[in-house]
Chain A
């Protein structure tokens, strides 16, 4: 049995295991993460290796990698004697872990700095972003990739226009048309939406979206994408995103250009094209806030 320590964790996850009410099974395994299906919450939770950032439903451990631990899909997961057991292979203690909560920064009263930083992000993504998703590749591997790229371009553009005009019902249908679009584990359409939603949940943001928008989207999403990506979207729909996205938003709002680039590099390193797709959604959201500037503020009620 390998012992590992939690270094930090999403506060709700930490409280859940500390209360002893956490059981389920291993959902999926990767080199740097183990996803657990929690029976009590009917949600996925993630055990992450040391180099990953905090996130919703995520616990970061001191392990460098999870490969060759002897953990397998469907292994039972339970809490006993102050440890979270993952099969017969891994026991996690959490008593020293720092609590993390997703706190999005407040949208600024004066937006000049944000405007400049959005331009920096766009330029940097154009130079350093990973193609293959929202950012077009000059040499798609096959006709499928080319068509995915064309659809992503057309649908994100339509969604942007619809949001700019404040047509939230139409926007919701267009957003649903992006869910599950793309070959990756978190499809590009999902990543774009997660980035976009994070901006709409900034406190004091001039433009907001009504609750039914997210409610309808979350309902429609469940069958349209895989469970891992669904969890990301479900959390983003209530303003919960991973730490690197929060840092990028913070830097864009109140940091320096160097802060922006540093945070952006971390986001761009997520997945294959996921970080780039997330950033492009975030940029769209910020541009909508800057361009419509409160003229299309939809009621939250």
Chain B
């Protein structure tokens, strides 16, 4: 087994990019473990705890970026570093929406301006609030969650109607829009028939 490190001096990447790079680095062929982290003493202690600390890592300073790879052979390690360098090089252009997890609907809507629909599946206690947030961001809503009160449902639908948006649900489990199946939607041929049915009727 081989462990190698590359230390990038005084190199800073924002946390979202680092997380994304680390996830992808661990999926590269031949890689058993890949760690991309700032070279702090605590992070070195963690590397020691998990058996990834090699003497070269001690040189890393708190403002340096450490890239540590464990693979079957030296050659596989080198291949992995080449792959990771490519990921670094691509960073700016590969930051696609599908690769990033957003904490809130607001941040997702802001970062993906072309998005026009939100599927919401959260605890019922939070569902109406999240649906409203989506509508406020001019997103159509498919509300998978249930346990939403009648009053909240009416309020959401009125608000959506005022904004010219679709408000499907609560307890909406399946839909096909523009030939795209959502949630439990089946893949079907495109045609001229539309079906609207209540939850639990087995229309799907």
CB-defined contacts of B19 to chain A, threshold 8 Å:
132, 183-184, 272-273
Most interface-central of B33, B42, B46 (chain A CB within 10 A): B42
Picked from B18, B22, B107, the residue with its CB within 8 Å of the CB of A185 is: B18
A 102-139 binary contact with B (CB < 8 Å = 1; else 0): 00000000000000000000001001111010000000
CA gap between A72 and B57 in the complex, in Å: 28
Most interface-central of A178, A189, A269 (chain B CB within 10 A): A269
Q: Interface SS of chain A: helix, strand, loop or mixed?
A: loop
B 31-70 binary contact with A (CB < 8 Å = 1; else 0): 0011111101111001101101000000000110000100
Residues B104 and A268 in contact, CB atoms below 8 Å apart: yes
Contacts between the two chains (Cβ within 8 Å), count: 129
Residues A226 and B42 in contact, CB atoms below 8 Å apart: no
Q: Is B161 an interface residue (CB 8 A)?
A: no
Given contacts A30-B14, A142-B35, contact A269 B42 (CB under 8 A): no
CB-defined contacts of B36 to chain A, threshold 8 Å:
183
CA gap between A132 and B23 in the complex, in Å: 11
CB-defined contacts of B106 to chain A, threshold 8 Å:
265, 269
CA gap between A147 and B110 in the complex, in Å: 33
Most interface-central of B16, B34, B102, B129 (chain A CB within 10 A): B16
Residues B14 and A31 in contact, CB atoms below 8 Å apart: yes
CA gap between A225 and B92 in the complex, in Å: 26
CB-defined contacts of B88 to chain A, threshold 8 Å:
none
Q: Is A223 an interface residue (CB 8 A)?
A: yes
Q: How many residues of B contact A (CB 8 A)?
A: 40
How close is B147's CB to chain A, nearest CB, in angstroms?
Answer: 14
CB-defined contacts of B101 to chain A, threshold 8 Å:
130
Q: Is B26 an interface residue (CB 8 A)?
A: yes
Q: Is B192 an interface residue (CB 8 A)?
A: no
Q: Is A148 an interface residue (CB 8 A)?
A: yes
Residues A265 and B62 in contact, CB atoms below 8 Å apart: no
CA gap between A142 and B26 in the complex, in Å: 7
Residues B40 and A180 in contact, CB atoms below 8 Å apart: yes
Residues A269 and B33 in contact, CB atoms below 8 Å apart: no
CA gap between A51 and B47 in the complex, in Å: 36
CA gap between A182 and B40 in the complex, in Å: 9
Given contacts A127-B123, A130-B103, contact A224 B62 (CB under 8 A): yes
CA gap between A182 and B15 in the complex, in Å: 10
Q: Is B82 an interface residue (CB 8 A)?
A: no
List 9 tightest A-B contacts by C-beta distance, closest first: A180-B40, A183-B37, A184-B15, A272-B15, A181-B42, A180-B42, A271-B15, A269-B107, A268-B103
Q: Which residues of A are at the interface with B, using a C-beta cutoff of 8 A?
A: 28, 30-31, 51, 67, 124, 127-130, 132, 141-148, 151, 177-187, 189, 223-228, 261, 265, 268-269, 271-276
Given contacts A67-B92, A128-B104, A179-B42, 8 further A-B contacts (CB under 8 A): A31-B14, A127-B123, A129-B103, A144-B35, A148-B43, A183-B18, A184-B18, A272-B15
